[in-house]
Amino acid sequence: MMTSTLKESRSPLVRALMPGRPPATHRERRRSKRQARTVASQLVACLAAVLLWQIACSTGVVSSTSIASPVEVVRALGPLLRASSFWAALSDTLQTWALGLGLSILVGIPLGLLLGASFLGYRLTRFTIEFCRSIPAVALLPLALLLYGATPRMALVLVVFGSVWPILVQSVYGARSVDRVARDMAASYRIRRLDRVFRLLVPSAGPLMATGIRIAATMSLLLVIGAEVIGGAPGIGLEFQNYSQAGDIPAMFALVVVSAVLGLALNLGLQATERRVLSWHAVHRVPSQ
């Protein structure tokens, strides 16, 4: 009788009906401790790197005219964050990034699923895709500057060209990874083509498409800032170039830190969104026991 009650208390239905949060299992507690240790070790490593950076600047191992110390960077962050020009530049960078990533998704995912679902289309375009994705996006900078000048549109062209390929390739691989048994079963039951796309193809390719979007998001941010630094488009990169030419090394490194934090925040946000949207998938499913 006691064993039966214990088993019932562990069932998902009973735990869902019980008031309050159910007690954590041994595996969940062990996973939480492991995650806490991982975060703690990462923080210690980050603090150690910052300490070594400060020691190198204080002892004169690196030149103060070329590299700012962490203390100087923190001091420069206050005036930088209070300046309206910084927020305007940040808005320009984020707008170009979001628009470029959105266009890459709109082009890469449908085209990748179409080519991946067709054996002939995959064979005919495989070499062309591999060739085009090997072209550095920065190599198109002179052409983009000639066509659009130092404008956000110039940076947008580079972002779309550079970030569409990870999404396209991952979508192709995702479409080709669909279970053959499930595909044959859908064909034998004569399921409509549109239902096959949204109920079989897209869910099966979902994790790989999400990976492609995360890679493209980071690449898009790098391309935006690079186009702003080299091409002179308005944004954080142009502010970085202005501070560099003015010799304000602490403010320049403060912008570098802001760019790194921005990229980390975008990546973590996309990871959290991926776990929430694909929580039903085996890749993100948390075992109940």
pLDDT > 70 in the chain, percent: 88
Span 71-96, pLDDT tens digits:
888 899 988 898 888 999 999 999 99
Range of the domain at 51: 24-60
205-250 per-position pLDDT tens digit = 888 999 999 999 999 999 999 999 988 889 999 998 888 888 888 9
d(CA 239, CA 244): 8
Q: What is the pLDDT of residues 31-55, one digit of tens each?
A: 777 878 888 888 888 888 888 988 8
Q: CA-CA distances (angstroms) from residue 57 to 19, 252, 256?
A: 57, 16, 17
pLDDT over 50 at 7, yes or no:
no
Q: Which of 34, 60, 86 is the last residue of a domain?
A: 60
Do 133 and 229 lie in one domain? The reply is yes
> Considering its fold, how many domains does the chain have in total?
2
Residue 234 and residue 92 share a domain: yes
Mean pLDDT, residues 136-155 taken together: 89
pLDDT band at 23 (very low <50, low <70, confident <90, very high): low
- Residue 14 covered by a domain: no
Domain assignment present for residue 214? The answer is yes
Domain identity same for 131 and 33: no
What is the predicted pLDDT for the residue at 10?
Answer: 45
For residue 4, being part of any structural domain is answered with no
Residue 199 forms part of a structural domain:
yes
If we measure between CA atoms, which residue out of 166, 137, 143 comes closest to residue 224? 137
Together in a domain, 49 and 76: no
Indicate whether 113 and 256 sit together in one domain: yes
Asked if the structure places residue 145 within a domain, the reply is yes
Q: Are residues 143 and 102 in the same domain?
A: yes
Instruction: Please tell me the pTM assigned to this model.
Output: 0.80
- Domain membership flag for residue 288: no
Model confidence at 156, pLDDT cuts 50, 70, 90, reads very high
Can you give the length of the chain in residues? 289
Q: What is the pLDDT of residue 62?
A: 78
Count of helices and strands (H, E) across the chain: 13, 0
Domain co-membership, 196 together with 166: yes
Query: Are residues 151 and 141 in contact, defined by beta-carbon separation less than 8 angstroms?
Result: no
Q: Is the dihedral of CA 227, 232, 238, 242 positive or negative?
A: positive
**Claim to verify: residue 156 and residue 179 sit in the same structural domain:** yes
Distance (Å, whole) CA 78 – CA 76: 6
